[in-house]
Copies of this chain bind each other. A is one copy, B any other.
Amino acid sequence: MKRTLIKETAELAGKQVKLSGWVNVRRDHGKLIFIDLRDRTGVIQMVIIPDKVEAYAAAKEARSEFVISVEGLIKERPASQVKADDPNSKVEIEVEKMEILSRVEGELSFDPSKKDLDVNLPTLLDNRNLALRNKKVNGIFLVYSQILKSYAEAMRESGFLEIKTPKIVSAATEGGANFFKIKYFKRDAFLAQSPQFYKQAGVGAFERVFEIGSVFRAEQHFTSRHVNEYIGLDAEMGFIENFSDIMDQLQQAMRRIMKDVEANCADILKEYEIEEIAAPEQFPRIKLTEALDILKKEYKKETEGIDIDPEGERMISEWAKKTYNSDFIFLTHYPVSVRPFYTMPSADPQYTESFDLIFKGVEIATGGQRIHNYEQLVASIKRHKLNPEDFTSYLDIFKIGMPAHGGWGLGSERIVQKILNIDSIKEAILFPRDVKRLTP
């Protein structure tokens, strides 16, 4: 008999089916045994009566998280037991056969069938496999998979080509710090901190490219928004008129993601009590200097120099929400001093044609226009006290004709973290890596 998925049973009352999955909850009522069976598509109540001797014996033995397979009859449940928001509560299965396929060794560290796990972060991550069986925790990764899909679709529909670029690189460029060092046969090499140079090369070949790939940062951070390995959603586009084109494109991708998540992950948003994501047609765009003025006036927050800290990002996001009903805000025109050498300067050369995108208080993307003229780029490298000879391969890109271009780097995990209002980004990564954590 072929396996039926639990979500399909709602329409199968009166039919004989085979179901497989995990024991979610088991209730022994003396005579009757009730087991909630869970598969990737839902949960169904199973009823096992003593008359079915072998099935009953298996049900007696079964414990939480055992893997089982059953055969039986799908029956409609009394109207009083049907929950409006759960199509699977319409039916139950009267079990005739049950087989235990896999058992649990020892005790479970916690019960994953509870609505909220209520365990601390180290316990959650140390027992990752068990935690992922909890519906709320599991749902994070259903939303995450949707983000990956929607991002790729949005980019492809705008004529971007998907590329993959190397993560082992010969030189720790872009400043030098924060790179992991690797032993590459007889040489030293480094793990790529971003696909920046390669995606710019992609513009010279394909005009518009995007990449979904691993990013490695050797930063000694201990915050709720940093990890040392994450998945970057990068893009780079050529033949732009100005850097607004880049923000337009990123805005379009973000709106697409939010729309798809709202449409396809409604049940998970509900679990997390997220009512709506405010992604208006036009995200507010304000200069960083204006943002600092607003912080000063409205939040009495003084800033040293021209830059914004995490507290400032939270405040300006709050301001954008109340002023424009937007969970997103672009801050633009960062000063030259806080941007990498390849950033295009503005008409006022103290500033740059660059932006950060803040979503619900956290910076999720950094981008801008890049310098595309060879001589200007060499001069900028020197002005940043770097040596053009260390950038030979990169500079080659600009010797053979490069259009005006720019792009962004976007952190995929921060998107899901903020959509679901999750405390730590580590909860939004299957197997996170931080300064102290390399397992599981």
Contacts and interface: CB of A to CB of B under 8 A. Distances in A.
B207 A39 contact: yes
B40 A159 contact: yes
Contacts of A144: 164
Given A129-B205, A213-B214, A433-B168, A401 B163 contact: no
A170 interface: yes
Contacts of A400: 65, 104-105, 108, 129-130, 133
A47 interface: no
Contacts of A67: 401-403
A415 interface: no
B66 A102 contact: no
A103 interface: yes
Contacts of A108: 400
Contacts of A60: none
A392 to B, nearest CB: 8
A contact patch SS: mixed
A429 to B, nearest CB: 8
Contact of A439 (B128, B133, B170): B170
Interface stretch (A70-78, A180-188, A246-254, A333-341): A180-188
A180 B180 contact: no
Interface in A392-440: 393-394, 396-404, 412, 430-433, 435, 438-440
B440 A133 contact: no
B439 A164 contact: no
Contact of A142 (B66, B161, B181, B189): B161
Interface string A134-146: 0000100110110
B401 A22 contact: yes
Interface string A9-27: 0000000000010110000
A152 B185 CA distance: 33
A393 B439 contact: yes
Contacts of A167: 167, 214, 216, 229
Contact of A168 (B130, B132, B169, B229): B229
B3 A433 contact: no
Contact of A393 (B106, B185, B204, B440): B440
Contacts of A239: 3, 20
A272 interface: no
Contacts of A40: 159, 206-208
A125 to B, nearest CB: 11
A177 interface: no
Nearest to A201: B129
A438 B403 contact: no
Given A183-B181, A400-B65, A430 B168 contact: no
Nearest to A69: B239
A156 interface: yes
Nearest to A162: B145
A229 B216 CA distance: 15
A386 interface: no
A166 interface: yes
11 contacts: A129-B396, A129-B400, A132-B201, A141-B205, A145-B161, A148-B162, A163-B430, A164-B412, A166-B431, A180-B182, A393-B440
Given A104-B399, A105-B398, A132-B204, 16 more contacts: A40-B208, A67-B402, A101-B403, A102-B373, A105-B400, A106-B399, A141-B161, A145-B162, A163-B430, A164-B214, A164-B430, A167-B167, A168-B433, A182-B183, A187-B438, A393-B440
The 7 closest A-B pairs by CB, nearest first: A132-B205, A170-B438, A393-B440, A105-B399, A40-B207, A65-B401, A145-B162
